[in-house]
Amino acid sequence: MVWDAWGIASAHAPLSDRIRTLVAQVFGVSGEPVARRDEGDVPLRESGLTAAHRAGLSAVVGADQVSADHRDRLLHAGGKSTPDLLRRRAEAPQDAPDAVVFPADHDQVLAVLTYCAEQSIAVVPFGGGTSVVGGVDPARGRFDTVIALDLRRLDGLSDVDPVSGTATLGAGSTGPQAEKLLAAHGLSLGHFPQSFEYASIGGFAATRSSGQASAGYGRFDDMIMRLKVATPTGTVDLGRAPASAAGPDLRELFAGSEGTLGVITEVTLRVHPIPETTAYQAWSFPDFATGAAALRTVVQNGAAPTVLRLSDEAETGLNLARSGDIGGAPVSGCLAVTTFEGTRAHVAARSAEASALLAAAGGTALGEQPARDWEHGRFGAPYLRDALLDIGVLCETLETATNWSNVERLKAAVTTALTESLGAQGTPALVMCHISHTYPTGASLYFTVVAKQSDDPSAQWAQAKRAVGDAIAGHGGTITHHHAVGTDHRPWMTAEIGDLGARILRAVKDAVDPAGILNPGKLIP
Amino acid sequence: MVWDAWGIASAHAPLSDRIRTLVAQVFGVSGEPVARRDEGDVPLRESGLTAAHRAGLSAVVGADQVSADHRDRLLHAGGKSTPDLLRRRAEAPQDAPDAVVFPADHDQVLAVLTYCAEQSIAVVPFGGGTSVVGGVDPARGRFDTVIALDLRRLDGLSDVDPVSGTATLGAGSTGPQAEKLLAAHGLSLGHFPQSFEYASIGGFAATRSSGQASAGYGRFDDMIMRLKVATPTGTVDLGRAPASAAGPDLRELFAGSEGTLGVITEVTLRVHPIPETTAYQAWSFPDFATGAAALRTVVQNGAAPTVLRLSDEAETGLNLARSGDIGGAPVSGCLAVTTFEGTRAHVAARSAEASALLAAAGGTALGEQPARDWEHGRFGAPYLRDALLDIGVLCETLETATNWSNVERLKAAVTTALTESLGAQGTPALVMCHISHTYPTGASLYFTVVAKQSDDPSAQWAQAKRAVGDAIAGHGGTITHHHAVGTDHRPWMTAEIGDLGARILRAVKDAVDPAGILNPGKLIP
């Protein structure tokens, strides 16, 4: 990905005239994009990598796999949250890791960690670099030196068991790489988060990612059968059976560990045959509460959709779920999207069952096209954010989850926190929301917030983020449903797991990483 | 339950003439039951409870809730494995906890743990006492005193959220109590392990129990939304949302912790409406491999049975899955049982789909009756074991799980280990097996082994258990799918989770229970 925005340069595009005019009018910005710097012109904090450390790391991975080049360092300078991008566009010099190290395999990762523990070098494991919570910030903590440990060379499919429906992938494989490798065996993972195109298998595991087809295929943590992890004190290889009663499930310590407890190098995943067919059906509900109750009925009934989502009135009104129509003629009500994948017989039966439930719950069928439109544009929203940032508009997303009975209350609390905080700063906000992940007992809530940038947009957002984090913690939500903790959600971790929970995490950290070199400042309170 | 056998006395029955004759003939035993001792006549290790400790514990829970009575101590002298029952029938004096303490609520549990940590008193959390792995042995470790902490007073339903489909139950509620309380709200948990009638909600969570309807409703750990746990260093209350990316899932440390990390006092569980209807269908397969492949097809296809099980040729031949016919006319092939619960429409569609798959995979439909027979007798097997033990026959069960591609190999390895070990001891064994829990990626294997008791049946079984544990660990199985670890599987825990996994468990233990009072000698290697 490019250093100061999402994705690849060729996919970047300025806003359409329609959107730019609308945004300029609503938020009072000029609509003229600011110039962005060329990556070669960006001043970087000087690399503190010593010759001895370069030699020591080179002895493990080879001299050509240790880089302190400007470009490599800049491309590992952090993730892709709005604060990340604001900082990258504003600050000089940029902070960056002292070096980027590219190990080839598990044993090299283990050796790098051993070396760094001995030499007091902080290590930031780096997959696709798509974190939106500061998870890959080049934070050095109490160490003089920090390296980014880029896992891209740990890619590939090392084993397929078609009878058991499992596949073993290297942690560095990206989403598209994994799907392509599996497709050669007629298989699919079915994990399609918005970061799909760039994020890695190891990153999905380390952050408890959840994809847009989670209703059908589960969260990424549900798919993990086995994890191989390198730590400064050795290797753990966890997961011997589809299910076990052999004590605590230690896989669940490393899933979501965000590089603070070890480096996930290999993951065995549950996979499924490439579906025979996919059915699309969009719906309109008169209001969010009616739509949410309808989604709940479908998931609690077991009608088994693959994708099940609902946009609220604000998001529907702006057509945010239909990339080609954003800012077009306003749409009333709440748009819901369903897809069903599988055998023709299952798809026919399950979509018919869900349709009957959704219609009975107050939905109006809109046909296939809006659902196909959503799917077509589903990885594109981060590009839109970049274009908005370019014209002086603040745009960020955040997410939580709660029980069905608490969905309305939590949604209202989050919306109020955002509108009040940003409004009080003189930058009235537009807040939109959708449900994109459903469970029998509850759902996720994903918010998009847009406002005019203040003179100090980083401080502006930090204030809003504090307000909304407190609102989530105070109204029964989890501080993150699928974005993970990183640095940005760390202030709420003690509220999430309690003082003793935090002590337990620190005890595990001390056991596996006594020197504390792994991803300092992330996750663990 | 009675002190030296399973269940309640009124449900005990001698073997039928048919079974006794058959067993006597096959295994060369007399068939005459030995006399069992009255509980009042059993010599017990003297209670070492000091007056000061009695006073200290009484100050927390009340004097009438601290018992060093012969009967209370005897009834908390351990679990219900075959070695437990052999020891209880053979040894004198019996070991027992120095006292049994009955706290009323979470705060009392917390206070008891704080007191015991200060006073160096070992604590064995005690739910239904149904452990078959030594999980509730009154082991005192390095402490002079051990108490059983009986949680029966922490029962009841404290909250129901019918919208979200969740219910909060006290850890001491038994299976039948929980189902009765939920039924008043039209809800069910659907967790029916063989121990259902006596085991407790907290015990299910602490051991990662799995019920006979796991295909439909999942394992108990799948149902856990929230856990409240008392530890010597404070309370943890985990689980804020249906799903979260807020770091490691610490619920998964306490699920399966078997009382070594804390005392689970309250559990919020996913529940479902009482099903409208249940369909039963039994099948015959020509051999186990064909039957296993058929089950795999059903679970991988998503036909969603509630119960899905398959007995091998040996178990089918003895009619062990049909309690009324055990030892009757031999049956060839392999019996499979399916049930489908839910709405009438779902049951009709799903049972039709599964039937088509099972027939196509080589199954012959046997109608409803054998499936109903299985359900009728499903909690009765432990009583049969007691009657066999009474006539000098050794009978024990053990279980594992593995990927579908490894099922045949693991089954053969376990069978060989049992037959060779017991054969070499001059007591040829009959080994039977069934699949009772299925997953998209694999299945459990549950073995029943029967042989003539040697002069020292405890040593006889210990030798066989070592052989079979090594065979499981060496052939890709988990050391336990749903019986848990306790003392009996502890020798294989390092093979299961590795040296570093074991170090992690000890680090967590040190963080929450620095005095090491909780359930000494169990689970943690």
The residues, ordered by sequence, that sit 6+ positions from B259 with a Cβ below 8 Å of its Cβ are B123, B124, B125, B135, B136, B206, B518, B519, B522
Examine the pLDDT at A330 and tell me if it is beyond 80. Answer: no
Q: Which pLDDT value is given to residue B395?
A: 97
Q: Round to whole Å and give the CA distance between B521 and A21.
A: 71
B440-472 pLDDT, tens digit each? 999 999 999 999 999 999 999 999 999 999 999
Q: How confident is the model at residue A95 (pLDDT cuts 50, 70, 90)?
A: very high
The residues, ordered by sequence, that sit 6+ positions from B186 with a Cβ below 8 Å of its Cβ are B162, B273, B274
A385-399 pLDDT, tens digit each? 999 999 999 999 999
Q: Which pLDDT value is given to residue B321?
A: 60
Q: Round to whole Å and give the CA distance between B393 and B385.
A: 9
Instruction: Give the closest of B208, B236, B241 to A498, CB-based.
Output: B236
- B92 DSSP 8-state letter: S
Q: Round to whole Å and give the CA distance between B339 and B280.
A: 5
The residues, ordered by sequence, that sit 6+ positions from B350 with a Cβ below 8 Å of its Cβ are B303, B304, B305, B340, B342
Mark out the alpha helices in B475-515 (DSSP H runs). 493-512
Q: Which pLDDT value is given to residue A323?
A: 61
Least confident of A105-109, A160-164, B86-90, B344-348: B86-90
Neighbours of A119 (CB within 10 A): 17
Nearest chain A alpha carbon to B495 = A240
Partner-chain contact A440 B404, CB within 8 Å: no
CB-CB neighbors (< 8 A) of A482 in chain B:
243, 245
The residues, ordered by sequence, that sit 6+ positions from B280 with a Cβ below 8 Å of its Cβ are B337, B338, B339, B368, B371, B372, B375
Nearest chain A alpha carbon to B262 = A500
Residue type at A164? S
Q: Round to whole Å and give the CA distance between A225 and A221.
A: 9
Neighbours of A431 (CB within 10 A): 21
Q: Is B130 on the interface with A (CB under 8 A)?
A: no
A222-263 pLDDT, tens digit each? 999 999 999 999 999 999 999 999 999 999 999 999 999 999
Q: Which pLDDT value is given to residue B302?
A: 87
Q: Which pLDDT value is given to residue B18?
A: 84
Partner-chain contact B498 A238, CB within 8 Å: yes
In Å, how far is A11's CA from the nearest CA of chain B? 29
CB-CB neighbors (< 8 A) of A402 in chain B:
240-242
Q: Is A205 on the interface with B (CB under 8 A)?
A: no
Q: How confident is the model at residue A320 (pLDDT cuts 50, 70, 90)?
A: low
CA geometry: angle at A39 spanning A33 and A40, to 5°? 130
**A281, β-bridge pairs:** A338
Q: Round to whole Å and give the CA distance between A176 and A183.
A: 10
Q: How confident is the model at residue A490 (pLDDT cuts 50, 70, 90)?
A: very high
> Which one has a higher pLDDT value, B16 or B447?
B447
How does the average pLDDT of chain B come out, rounded? 95
CB-CB neighbors (< 8 A) of A251 in chain B:
252
Best B110, B131, B160, B164 member to test A by mutation, with max A CBs in 10 Å, is B164
Query: Are A101 and A149 in contact, with CB atoms under 8 Å apart?
Result: yes
User: What sign does the dihedral B302-B303-B306-B307 (CA atoms) show?
Assistant: negative
Partner-chain contact A247 B402, CB within 8 Å: no
Q: Which pLDDT value is given to residue A350?
A: 94
The residues, ordered by sequence, that sit 6+ positions from B3 with a Cβ below 8 Å of its Cβ are B39, B42, B74, B75, B77, B88
Query: Are B399 and B482 in contact, with CB atoms under 8 Å apart?
Result: yes
A254-279 pLDDT, tens digit each? 999 999 999 999 999 999 999 999 99
Q: Is A218 on the interface with B (CB under 8 A)?
A: no
Q: Which pLDDT value is given to residue B261?
A: 98
Q: Is B401 on the interface with A (CB under 8 A)?
A: yes
Percent residues over pLDDT 70 in chain A? 98
pLDDT, average across residues B154-176: 98
Examine the pLDDT at A324 and tell me if it is beyond 80. Answer: no
Q: Is B65 on the interface with A (CB under 8 A)?
A: no
Query: Are B475 and B413 in contact, with CB atoms under 8 Å apart?
Result: yes
Among A75-84, A315-324, B8-17, top mean pLDDT goes to A75-84
Burial of A229 (0-12, 13-18, 19+ CB in 10 A): buried
Q: Is B159 on the interface with A (CB under 8 A)?
A: no
Q: Round to whole Å and give the CA distance between A313 and A309.
A: 13
Q: Which pLDDT value is given to residue B257?
A: 98
Token pair 């989604």 is at which residue?
A: A295
Query: Are A467 and A454 in contact, with CB atoms under 8 Å apart?
Result: no
Helix (H, G, I), strand (E, B) or coil at A393: strand
CA atoms within 13 A on the CB side of A514: 9
Q: Round to whole Å and give the CA distance between A497 and B255.
A: 15
Residue (of A247, A196, A251, A199) closest to A223 by Cα position: A251
**A283, β-bridge pairs:** A336, A365
Measure CA A408 to chain center.
Answer: 24
Q: How confident is the model at residue B127 (pLDDT cuts 50, 70, 90)?
A: very high
Q: Is B249 on the interface with A (CB under 8 A)?
A: yes
Partner-chain contact A441 B166, CB within 8 Å: yes
CB-CB neighbors (< 8 A) of B489 in chain A:
246
The residues, ordered by sequence, that sit 6+ positions from B478 with a Cβ below 8 Å of its Cβ are A240, A241, A243, A244, A245, A246, B400, B401, B402, B472, B496
Q: How confident is the model at residue A13 (pLDDT cuts 50, 70, 90)?
A: confident
B472-523 pLDDT, tens digit each? 999 999 999 999 999 999 999 999 999 999 999 999 999 999 999 999 999 9
- Contacts with A, B 226-245, CB within 8 Å: 231, 233-238, 240-245
Helix (H, G, I), strand (E, B) or coil at B6: coil
Q: How confident is the model at residue B325 (pLDDT cuts 50, 70, 90)?
A: low
Q: How confident is the model at residue B13 (pLDDT cuts 50, 70, 90)?
A: confident
State the DSSP H helix or E strand holding residue B148, giving kind and residue range, or none if neither: strand B145-150
Query: Are A281 and A365 in contact, with CB atoms under 8 Å apart?
Result: yes
Nearest chain A alpha carbon to B472 = A240
Partner-chain contact A245 B256, CB within 8 Å: yes
State the DSSP H helix or E strand holding residue B372, giving kind and residue range, or none if neither: helix B369-376
Largest CA distance in chain B: 70
Residue (of A100, A244, A455) closest to B256 by Cα position: A244
Measure CA A317 to chain center.
Answer: 25
CA atoms within 13 A on the CB side of B142: 5
A22-50 pLDDT, tens digit each? 888 899 998 888 888 888 889 999 999 99
ipTM (interface pTM): 0.97
Least confident of B8-12, B67-71, B232-236, B390-394: B8-12
In Å, how far is A197's CA from the nearest CA of chain B? 20
Examine the pLDDT at B426 and tell me if it is beyond 80. Answer: yes
CA distances from B399 to B197, B449, B480, B484 (A): 20, 11, 6, 10
Q: Is B505 on the interface with A (CB under 8 A)?
A: yes
CB-CB neighbors (< 8 A) of A208 in chain B:
244-245
Partner-chain contact A243 B497, CB within 8 Å: no
- Contacts with A, B 272-291, CB within 8 Å: 272
Q: Round to whole Å and give the CA distance between B224 and B255.
A: 9
- A95 DSSP 8-state letter: P
Examine the pLDDT at B324 and tell me if it is beyond 70. Answer: no
Q: How confident is the model at residue B326 (pLDDT cuts 50, 70, 90)?
A: low
**E-strand stretches of A174-295:** 187-188, 224-231, 234-238, 263-270, 272-273, 277-285
Residue type at B31? G
Question: Pairing between strand A263-270 and A277-285?
Answer: unpaired
In Å, how far is B140's CA from the nearest CA of chain A? 21
Q: How confident is the model at residue B377 (pLDDT cuts 50, 70, 90)?
A: confident
A442-466 pLDDT, tens digit each? 999 999 999 999 999 999 999 999 9
Partner-chain contact B248 A244, CB within 8 Å: no
- Contacts with B, A 363-392, CB within 8 Å: none
Nearest chain A alpha carbon to B482 = A245
A286-310 pLDDT, tens digit each? 999 999 999 999 999 988 899 999 9
How does the average pLDDT of chain A come out, rounded? 95
In Å, how far is A189's CA from the nearest CA of chain B? 13
User: What sign does the dihedral B84-B85-B91-B95 (CA atoms) show?
Assistant: positive
In Å, how far is B318's CA from the nearest CA of chain A? 28
- Contacts with B, A 457-496, CB within 8 Å: 476-485, 489, 493, 496
Instruction: Give the closest of A247, A343, A485 to B247, CB-based.
Output: A485
Partner-chain contact A163 B404, CB within 8 Å: yes
Q: Is B166 on the interface with A (CB under 8 A)?
A: yes
CA geometry: angle at B221 spanning B218 and B223, to 5°? 60
Please state whether A36 falls in left (phi above 0), alpha (psi between -120 and 50) or beta: beta
CA distances from A402 to A219, A444, B414 (A): 16, 7, 44
In Å, how far is A476's CA from the nearest CA of chain B? 7
Size of interface A-B (CB pairs under 8 A): 294
Examine the pLDDT at B92 and tell me if it is beyond 90. Answer: no
3-class SS shares of chain B: helix, strand, coil, % to 5: 40, 20, 40
Q: Which pLDDT value is given to residue B35?
A: 84
Q: How far apart are the first and last CA of chain B?
A: 30
Q: Round to whole Å and give the CA distance between B230 and B109.
A: 7
Q: Round to whole Å and give the CA distance between A429 and B89.
A: 75
Q: What are φ and ψ of residue A341, in 5° steps?
A: -120, 150
Mark out the alpha helices in A16-174 (DSSP H runs). 17-27, 51-61, 70-75, 82-90, 106-119
Query: Are B449 and B418 in contact, with CB atoms under 8 Å apart?
Result: yes
Q: Is B444 on the interface with A (CB under 8 A)?
A: yes
> Which one has a higher pLDDT value, B479 or B328?
B479
CA distances from B467 to A40, A215, A300, B173, B393 (A): 66, 43, 45, 37, 20
- A438 DSSP 8-state letter: B
Best A479, A500, A503, A509 member to test B by mutation, with max B CBs in 10 Å, is A500
- B518 DSSP 8-state letter: B
